């Protein structure tokens, strides 16, 4: 099996951060540079900045009008108007013009009676310094304009320039070398052959470095070759402020990184108690931080956040930005291990005034769980997990404002949900649809627990042969409605050209099948059809092999490790599979009546009935919208 790194440790996250920070102290010193204020947006000041000039620079007229000596306007009134002459009594000023001695007040143009000879009459005396902006009213020379470690905003640029500052000392942007490694990885524009992995982490890191104000340089992938890796890292250390090596950080046979770093410098930490993400390497080579990150995308993302960003912020003069946190109720039990701190991605919805966090896929490879997440829920290292209904703290990515205007759907998956989620904010800005896919029955259970506004469902009642309504009657006591969705066709997906010549349910015994999870409408339909045909499920090879969505079933067939699986026509089409019709079914939305009047639910209904939705669904194929948006009160 080859040589393994036996020394992968399990240091707690915070301890690892602190040990590494301590090791970097005195080694990493933030650098400073002077740049023009006009190019300083988002840069961070290294020291407090003091004004060079006052603003305004002089006593200035705050109004259009005339500048006068207040003392000499005394006694003017409606009954005893005072006439002022242009030679000596006043000067005309526009807003912003300087006011010089002996003048010390401004009378507004609106309050003047202009005379034919160029003189003016006033009906009221002027108070000293009226309508005059005194020198330094806004900024006084010598005043502190910005403190140190301040991220420069647009208004700061304006104020610095007004205060006579044109150059500003800021932290130099740290330069970061990023090395993707691995013999099997390919560039995104290469054709993927068997066993190839498209390299994308380094591009994500590039963007993360940019967001932190750093300057990333991403190198071409390096094959698993000890000497090559050593040479590359060694050169980078001389030319960059920081080096990131991606993948190869574990203890596998081809994981050279830790050996290279031990040879070149000092490995401070190898292995952190974080899930996903354990095999992190925190090293120092010739005074530069070098960090090895794991290859699974979620691990890569989380370990970058936890270990790279603090170092970048230190170099950049930033203190850690705290993410807003909220309390939410967790919708499902989550078991975790005492061995690590786990970051669980969650969708967050507000139902009945209560915040509910629904865990997403927990695998280290589930990058889409990060895309879909509204936030994170952290399960501490010393916890075995949380029970459904318990309160958890969520680090939020979205604003509460957005969450307040989001329709929460939990239940069966269909491609039309993605289309609706896309159309909601387009047609009704500020309104969103969030959907989590747990199958029809799972959705109805979530609805009953008050965790969703509505549940997409397609459950056949075996007794009556009708959809959804009987199940709702059975499960709910509160007044319910059914928003009619789409009629769609269920069928058997098989490889292009149907090589096994499958004609229907009766041909399933003997072929390799991939099923859906218990409670999924499609599985209920299969069971019903098998019963009708008198086939025992145990005769189906793969009946126990479960996939979570139509698309996952289609992918298994397209990938060649299953011959058939049931699903909807749009999924088969989208993966280029053949499709043998089994029968039509009704995919609807179950909803408690009291939610129907919510403004965002109303928008959901409007989207369902919109022309834009109809056009998009037409393109997917296999749907009928004849009843879409009709409401049945149960």
The least distance separating a second copy from the CB of residue 555, rounded to whole angstroms, comes to 3
Is residue 128 near a second copy by the rule CB under 8 A? yes
Q: Of 210-249, which residues contact a second copy (CB under 8 A)? A: 210-211
Q: Closer to a second copy by CB, 136 or 349: give it.
A: 136
Is residue 422 near a second copy by the rule CB under 8 A? yes
| Cis status of the peptide bond prior to 102, with omega within 30 of 0 | yes
- Alpha-carbon gap, residue 115 to 112, rounded angstroms: 9
How remote is the C-alpha of 522 from its chain's centroid? 32
The least distance separating a second copy from the CB of residue 373, rounded to whole angstroms, comes to 9
The least distance separating a second copy from the CB of residue 10, rounded to whole angstroms, comes to 15
| Cis status of the peptide bond prior to 56, with omega within 30 of 0 | yes
DSSP 438-476: --HHHHHHHHHTT--SBEEE--B-TTT--BSHHHHHHH-
Is residue 131 near a second copy by the rule CB under 8 A? no
DSSP 350-395: EETTEEEEEE----TT-HHHHHH-SEEEEE-TT--EE-TT-EEEEE
The least distance separating a second copy from the CB of residue 83, rounded to whole angstroms, comes to 16
Give the one residue of 24, 68, 106, 139 binding a second copy; rule: CB under 8 A: 139
Which of 141, 181, 179 is closest to 49 using CA atoms?
141
H and E: helices and strands count for the chain: 17, 38
The least distance separating a second copy from the CB of residue 143, rounded to whole angstroms, comes to 6
Q: What are phi and psi of 19, to 5 degrees?
A: -60, -45
Give the one residue of 172, 203, 332, 398 binding a second copy; rule: CB under 8 A: 203
Is residue 86 near a second copy by the rule CB under 8 A? no
Give the one residue of 27, 113, 223, 368 binding a second copy; rule: CB under 8 A: 368
Given the structure tokens 């307040």, which residue do they identify? 404
Q: Of 161-200, which residues contact a second copy (CB under 8 A)? A: 161-162, 164-166, 184, 188-189, 192, 194-200
Is residue 416 near a second copy by the rule CB under 8 A? no
- Alpha-carbon gap, residue 10 to 152, rounded angstroms: 39
Q: Six-digit token pair at 360?
A: 């997403």
Give the one residue of 21, 64, 476, 630 binding a second copy; rule: CB under 8 A: 64
Q: How many residues bind a second copy (CB under 8 A)?
A: 125
Candidates 128-136, 226-234, 439-447, 584-592; binding stretch for a second copy (CB under 8 A): 128-136
Interface map 9-38 toward a second copy (x if CB under 8 A): ----------------------------xx
The residues, ordered by sequence, that sit 6+ positions from 327 with a Cβ below 8 Å of its Cβ are 355, 391, 392, 393, 394
Given the structure tokens 């942007």, which residue do they identify? 173
The least distance separating a second copy from the CB of residue 631, rounded to whole angstroms, comes to 26
Give the one residue of 205, 595, 613, 623 binding a second copy; rule: CB under 8 A: 205
- Alpha-carbon gap, residue 348 to 400, rounded angstroms: 10
The residues, ordered by sequence, that sit 6+ positions from 318 with a Cβ below 8 Å of its Cβ are 44, 149, 151, 212, 213
Q: Own/partner pairs for 117-122, CB < 8 Å, 24+ apart? A: 118/85, 118/86, 119/83, 119/84, 119/85, 119/86, 119/89, 120/66, 120/83, 120/84, 120/90, 121/81, 121/82, 121/83, 121/84, 122/73, 122/76, 122/81, 122/82, 122/84
Q: Of 565-624, which residues contact a second copy (CB under 8 A)? A: 571, 574-575
Give the one residue of 83, 95, 266, 624 binding a second copy; rule: CB under 8 A: 95
Candidates 136-144, 270-278, 388-396, 582-590; binding stretch for a second copy (CB under 8 A): 136-144
The least distance separating a second copy from the CB of residue 236, rounded to whole angstroms, comes to 20
Give the one residue of 30, 252, 509, 621 binding a second copy; rule: CB under 8 A: 252
Q: Closer to a second copy by CB, 150 or 453: give it.
A: 150
Q: Closer to a second copy by CB, 176 or 551: give it.
A: 551
The least distance separating a second copy from the CB of residue 412, rounded to whole angstroms, comes to 16
What's the first-to-final CA gap in the chain, in angstroms?
Answer: 62
CA distances in angstroms from 528 to 121, 339, 460, 525, listed in the order given: 98, 44, 8, 5
Give the one residue of 6, 75, 87, 101 binding a second copy; rule: CB under 8 A: 101
The least distance separating a second copy from the CB of residue 242, rounded to whole angstroms, comes to 17
Q: What are phi and psi of 603, to 5 degrees?
A: -65, -35
Give the one residue of 57, 326, 598, 634 binding a second copy; rule: CB under 8 A: 57
Q: Of 448-467, which residues contact a second copy (CB under 8 A)? A: none
Candidates 80-88, 515-523, 544-552, 581-589; binding stretch for a second copy (CB under 8 A): 544-552
């Amino acid at each position: 099996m080859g040589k393994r790194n036996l020394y992968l440790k399990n240091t707690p996250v915070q301890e690892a951060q602190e040990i590494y920070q301590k090791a970097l102290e005195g080694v990493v010193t933030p650098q400073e540079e002077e740049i023009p204020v006009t190019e300083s947006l988002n840069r961070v000041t290294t020291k407090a900045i003091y004004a060079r000039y006052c603003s305004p620079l002089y006593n200035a007229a705050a109004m259009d009008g005339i500048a006068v000596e207040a003392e000499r306007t005394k006694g003017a009134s409606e009954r005893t108007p005072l006439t002022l002459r242009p030679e000596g009594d006043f000067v005309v000023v526009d807003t912003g013009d300087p006011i010089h001695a002996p003048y010390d007040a401004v009378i507004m143009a609106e309050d003047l009676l202009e005379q034919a000879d160029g003189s003016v009459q006033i009906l009221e005396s002027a108070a000293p310094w009226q309508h005059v902006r005194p020198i330094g009213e806004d900024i006084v020379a010598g005043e502190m304009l910005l403190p140190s470690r301040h991220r420069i905003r647009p208004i700061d640029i304006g104020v610095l320039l007004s205060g006579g500052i044109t150059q500003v000392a800021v932290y130099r942007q740290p330069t970061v070398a990023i090395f993707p490694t691995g013999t099997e990885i390919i560039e995104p524009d290469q054709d993927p052959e068997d066993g190839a992995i498209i390299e994308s982490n380094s591009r994500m890191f590039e963007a993360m470095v940019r967001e932190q104000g750093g300057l990333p340089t991403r190198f071409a992938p390096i094959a698993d070759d000890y000497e090559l890796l050593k040479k590359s890292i060694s050169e980078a250390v001389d030319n960059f402020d920081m080096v990131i090596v991606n993948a190869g950080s574990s203890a596998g046979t081809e994981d050279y990184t830790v050996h290279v770093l031990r040879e070149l410098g000092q490995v401070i930490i190898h292995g952190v108690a974080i899930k996903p993400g354990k095999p992190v390497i925190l090293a120092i080579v010739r005074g530069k931080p070098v960090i090895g990150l794991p290859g699974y995308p979620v691990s890569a993302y989380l370990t970058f956040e936890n270990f790279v960003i603090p170092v970048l912020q230190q170099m950049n003069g930033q203190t850690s930005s705290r993410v807003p946190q909220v309390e939410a109720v967790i919708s499902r039990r989550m078991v975790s291990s005492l061995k690590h701190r786990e970051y669980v991605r969650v969708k967050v919805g507000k139902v009945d005034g209560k915040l509910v966090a629904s865990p997403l896929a927990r695998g280290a490879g589930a990058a889409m769980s990060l895309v879909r997440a509204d936030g994170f829920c952290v399960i501490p290292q010393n916890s075995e997990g949380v029970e459904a209904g318990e309160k958890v703290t969520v680090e939020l990515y979205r604003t509460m404002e957005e969450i307040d205007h989001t329709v929460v759907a939990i239940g069966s998956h269909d491609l039309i949900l993605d289309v609706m989620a896309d159309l909601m904010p387009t047609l009704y800005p500020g309104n969103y649809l969030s959907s989590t896919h747990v199958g029809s029955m799972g959705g109805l259970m979530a609805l009953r627990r008050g965790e969703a506004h509505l549940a997409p469902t397609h459950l056949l009642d075996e007794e009556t042969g009708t959809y959804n309504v009987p199940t709702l009657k059975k499960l709910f006591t509160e007044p319910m409605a059914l928003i009619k969705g789409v009629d769609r066709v269920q069928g058997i997906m098989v490889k292009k050209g149907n090589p096994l010549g499958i004609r229907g349910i009766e041909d399933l015994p003997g072929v390799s099948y991939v099923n859906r999870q218990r409670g999924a409408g499609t599985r209920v339909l299969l069971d019903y059809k098998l019963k009708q045909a008198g086939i025992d499920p145990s005769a189906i090879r793969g009946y126990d092999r479960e996939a979570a969505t139509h698309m996952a079933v289609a992918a298994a067939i397209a990938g060649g490790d299953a011959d058939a699986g049931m699903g909807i026509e749009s999924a088969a089409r989208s993966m280029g599979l053949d499709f043998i019709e089994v029968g039509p079914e009704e995919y609807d939305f179950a909803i408690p009546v009291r939610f129907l009047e919510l403004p965002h639910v109303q928008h959901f209904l409007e989207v369902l009935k919109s022309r834009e939705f109809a056009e998009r669904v037409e393109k997917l194929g296999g749907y009928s919208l004849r009843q879409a948006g009709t409401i049945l009160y149960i």
